[in-house]
A and B are shown apart, each in its own frame.
Chain A
Amino acid sequence: MPPVARPLSPHLQVYRWQIQMVTSILHRASGIVLSVGAFVLAGMLLALASGQEAWDCARGLLASWPGILVMIGFTWALCYHWLNGIRHLVQDAGWGFSIPAFVRSSWVSVIGSVVLTAIVCAVAICCGGVA
Chain B
Amino acid sequence: MNSPDSLRSPVKNARGLGSARSGVHHFIVQRATAVALLFLTVYLVVLLVSLIGADYSQARAAVGHPCNAVLLVAFLLAMFWHGKLGLQVVIEDYVHTPGRALACQLVVVFACALAALASVLAVIRIALGA
Point out residues on A near B: beta carbons under 8 Å. Answer: 1, 28, 31-32, 34-35, 38-39, 41-42, 45-46, 48-49, 52, 55-56, 78, 82, 85-86, 88-89, 92, 120, 123-124, 127-129, 131
Q: Are A1 and B96 in contact, CB atoms less than 8 angstroms apart?
A: yes
In the assembly, what is the distance between CA of A89 and CA of B37, in Å? 12
How many residues of B are in contact with the other chain, CB < 8 A?
Answer: 36
Min CB gap B54→A, angstroms? 10
Min CB gap A53→B, angstroms? 10
Of the residues A34, A52, A85, contact of B83 by C-beta under 8 Å: A34
Q: Are B49 and A127 in contact, CB atoms less than 8 angstroms apart?
A: yes
Min CB gap B25→A, angstroms? 15
**How many A-B pairs fall under 8 Å by CB?**
85
Of the residues A31, A86, A124, A128, contact of B86 by C-beta under 8 Å: A31
Q: Give the chain A neighbours of B121 by CB distance below 8 A.
A: 49
Q: Which of B37, B52, B59, B90 has the most CB of A within 10 A?
A: B52
